[in-house]
Structure 1
């Protein structure tokens, strides 16, 4: 089959493309750097020409209110181009619990993206994943003050980006779900404790302060960011992933 991966140069998109090629498929990797702009629509028709499946992994450059316009505009453009090209399957990646966090602009934006996809005529699959291990240090940097990292005790169940990519590639290779597949990591952590594990592994001089008002995840209550009962669980633990990073 022929796949077009939008956002094909990104963290997940590049790995999805590699997996699909390894499985013997033809893959077109499309991104701004290759001349494809999902906001203006430039290059979209050419990128989707003769594609059986489009995997849309483009992402907003911001997490604020402007992300809403990004996802609505880009999704409508991609959906229209997919319909015009006769694409038979449209896949996107979203976030576990995204429909339960209405106060976060970025989560509202992703819900709009999902809605536009569901309302389009092309058969679809939505892969909702938990937070990526790769983003833990970035999350910590957002709330660092001096040598103190302020983090709430919000429960999270993160996973490796490689496992996210595997789930997306699998969904893209199968029949359209016409629904959602949830994927998550194998372990649940409180975010503040995850921060302590990370600092200890890196011999970092900072320390974690539990602060229930710190950062965007402070706005999320309960177990919204952990795997629902129907989720597929990956096997790579955070500790294993960190060890692999050290060996690179």
Structure 2
């Protein structure tokens, strides 16, 4: 399986994402610069954290217009796994691939710490390696991670089982303690915590590795069905 790691000017978690896939997961990965226009040959797309374009205007607002995003949208429409982490989540929101928006953290401070999450949907292609309501430890590092949506959107997220991760505690003011959501089709996941920084016990947790393993398991099952 081959993963594309999208690199925007200002990305700073692309190395972590590459390491998680290449060294810990044992799958193929390649960096794709923001001005590329094709993702042909890739089976999954990863949008890493950082400060794309310096977070000018809003986090992810300029990256949304990068040439590569048309290819990301195409990959999402084709049903390929698309994962956006932290700034990558913000980009997916700005691009309209996920509903809602990000605001400054409720206390207006940057948060960087290990965080406990609860698995709210273990049936997605990203979470089959987890158990229902399992508590996992994944680090966060963000200043604009306060997820917001209106009541209508929140109801839709709940009704469609699109809420995948929630914080056990209110760390940033996010609506319903949401830490990660998918699109309606379940193949686009955005999350503020960093699973790529939790792939080895030496890093404080290996709970994030199951997310990447779940993607590979899903892809192999689908490949076996269609081959």
**TM-score > 0.5, shorter chain as reference:** no
Larger radius of gyration: 1
Q: TM-score range by the shorter chain?
A: 0.3 to 0.5
Instruction: Normalising by structure 1, report the TM-score.
Output: 0.38
Indicate the structure with greater strand content: 2
